[in-house]
Amino acid sequence: MGTAAAIYCRISEDTEGQALGVARQEQDCRALAARQNLNVVEVYTDNDIGASTRSRAKRRPAYDRMLEDARAGRFRVILAYSNSRLTRRPLELEGLIQLHEQHRTRLITVVSGEDDLSTADGRMVARIKANVDTAEAERTAERVARKHLEIAQSGRPVGGTRPFGWQADRATLDPTEAALIRKAAEDVLAGVPVRAIVREWTEQGVTTPTGRAWQHRTAREMLRSPRLAGWRIHQGKVAIGRDGEPVRGLWEPILDDATHKAVVAALSSPERRTRIPRKGARHYLLTGLLRCGRCNAVMYANKAGDAHYYTCRDNGHVNSASGRAVDAIVEETVLRYLAAEDLTLPRPEFAGQARLDQIAGQISELMAAFTAGTLTGAVVFPAVKTLEDERDALVRERDAVDAAALRPDVSRVDRTTWEGMDTDRRRAVCETVLDAVLVRPTSRNTGNRFDAERLEVVWRRG
């Protein structure tokens, strides 16, 4: 029996998905072990994982396990196809040198040979090879990044998983999925929570492009994606072309710009994120709106048989009310309010658009003057920075105005349309016109009849 040895195999990208690259490496390493009279006791494989500092995966499970086994004395030799298969990180090489110094572990490769880590010259050569491998990995990363940027600036679709709403070519709309997205956008703007949309999709059997069930987070991210409005995304942001302008994708958009911006603003609203403070609480009409008239805490519904009760048990007291009775009273109050009030609101206007357009022209003029050499960088860049700060402030103001215009249109809601709504859509109407409904503690025995005087409706201003 020869000296105990381990084989380490790694490939950065397995496009075939069949681990054929690492299989070929193992075959070559076993042939080397036979020539060296080594006894292979273990094979460690990291497939489809990079080894450079630019790699997305910072840990290699099999590599880490191999080092642990080497320190435990399971083998005295590590075989690999090349030095770069072991590592492209100089710091990791120092760990291998330390492994040799402490446990006399040898490193032998098929094409890179064996460096004598017991001598200064051997360690120097190993370090030179590691630095060369690192530089090559960085050059490769730069080329790949440049290629991806070029593709993004051309507007071509990115590869990978098919985006929801489009067919396999990533450019042609899938009619069914596109219709679902448009309906979801309409629901979001009507105040329907994303979790309700996800629940409906689950009931309908709608899955993600990978066949998985939709989750709240993934659906929310999908609805916020600029791709829906036809914008090309690069590194998580809308790509910027060589002309400095956002890049349109070479596919048919599902939503127009105005609708998508409104959806993003609605999903980003702090009120929308914090109105319901308890997970899974949106099951009843007035959850989040009903508050205790004694301590102002949110009252949550609890089911009791076929009925439900809104209850507050905070601050050492109990205040509860019949869910059916409260829901019916508030429904009737809201419907009468909708019928009596003119709820058609003028859309707020942003007064700074002309200045925004002017700033864009001024920045272009300054950069053109710098390019032509008529103005120095010392003059141009501070001026551009001042203009950009003003532009960013105006954009925030514009977004705030857009967000203020996102209140669902309830002017056409009547008893007929109300009857056709589910609980989530009815709740959205209530949240549009109500700030809260206070429930005072009971003050006298009313038998089984709920006392409507215990309720105080607080209407939203504006």
The parent domain of residue 48 ranges over 3-141
**pTM assigned to the model:** 0.57
Q: Is the pLDDT of residue 278 over 80?
A: no
Q: Which residue has the tokens 């141009």?
A: 380
Query: Which tokens in the block code for residue 179?
Result: 């219709």
Q: Is the pLDDT of residue 17 over 50?
A: no
State mean pLDDT over 24-34: 93
Out of 273, 289, 322, a domain closes at: 273
Out of 247, 273, 299, a domain closes at: 273
Same domain? For 15 and 68 the reply is: yes
Q: Is the pLDDT of residue 272 over 60?
A: no
Structure confidence by residue, pLDDT tens digits, 175-217? 999 999 999 998 888 778 898 899 999 999 999 999 999 999 9
Taking every pair of Cα atoms in the chain, the longest distance, rounded to a whole number of angstroms, is 97
Query: Which tokens in the block code for residue 452?
Result: 């409507």
For the domain that residue 221 is a member of, what is the CATH number? 3.90.1750.20
**Does some domain include residue 146?**
no
Same domain? For 306 and 414 the reply is: yes
Q: Is the dihedral of CA 340, 342, 344, 348 positive or negative?
A: negative
| Overall size of the chain counted in residues | 462
Q: Is 421 exposed, middle or buried (0-12, 13-18, 19+ CB in 10 A)?
A: middle
Q: Which residue has the tokens 């916020």?
A: 224
**Does some domain include residue 154?**
no
Residues with Cβ within 8 Å of 392's Cβ and at least 6 positions away in sequence, in order, are none
Look over the chain and give the mean of its residue pLDDT values, rounded to a whole number.
Answer: 85
Question: For position 66, what pLDDT does the model report?
Answer: 95
For the chain, how many structural domains are there in total? 4
Query: Which tokens in the block code for residue 103?
Result: 């446990």
Structure confidence by residue, pLDDT tens digits, 69-99? 999 999 999 999 988 888 878 888 999 999 9
**Does some domain include residue 156?**
no
Residues with Cβ within 8 Å of 301's Cβ and at least 6 positions away in sequence, in order, are 283, 284, 286, 287, 308, 309, 310, 311, 323
Q: Is the pLDDT of residue 4 over 90?
A: yes
Question: For position 344, what pLDDT does the model report?
Answer: 63
**Helix, strand, coil share of the chain (percent; to 5):** 50, 15, 35
Question: For position 360, what pLDDT does the model report?
Answer: 87
State mean pLDDT over 428-452: 80
Q: What are the φ and ψ backbone dihedral angles of 48, each rounded to 5 degrees?
A: 65, 40
Question: For position 117, what pLDDT does the model report?
Answer: 92
Neighbours of 262 (CB within 10 A): 19
Q: Please report which confidence band the pLDDT of residue 54 belongs to, taking 50, 70 and 90 as the band edges.
A: very low
Sheet strand arrangement including 434-439: 290-292, 434-439, 455-459
Question: For position 109, what pLDDT does the model report?
Answer: 93
Q: Please report which confidence band the pLDDT of residue 162 belongs to, taking 50, 70 and 90 as the band edges.
A: very high
Q: Is 392 exposed, middle or buried (0-12, 13-18, 19+ CB in 10 A)?
A: exposed
Same domain? For 41 and 115 the reply is: yes
**Does some domain include residue 66?**
yes
Same domain? For 452 and 399 the reply is: no
**Does some domain include residue 167?**
no
Q: Please report which confidence band the pLDDT of residue 446 belongs to, taking 50, 70 and 90 as the band edges.
A: low
Same domain? For 269 and 332 the reply is: no
Structure confidence by residue, pLDDT tens digits, 340-353? 876 665 667 888 98
**Does some domain include residue 170?**
no
Q: Is the pLDDT of residue 53 over 60?
A: no
Out of 141, 165, 196, a domain closes at: 141
Separation in Å, CA 194 to CA 164, 191, 199, 208, 333 = 16, 9, 9, 15, 27
Same domain? For 81 and 134 the reply is: yes
State mean pLDDT over 18-39: 86
Same domain? For 221 and 93 the reply is: no
State mean pLDDT over 228-240: 88
**Closest to 275 measured CA to CA, from 91, 427, 422, 439:** 427
Q: Is the pLDDT of residue 58 over 60?
A: no
Same domain? For 130 and 7 the reply is: yes
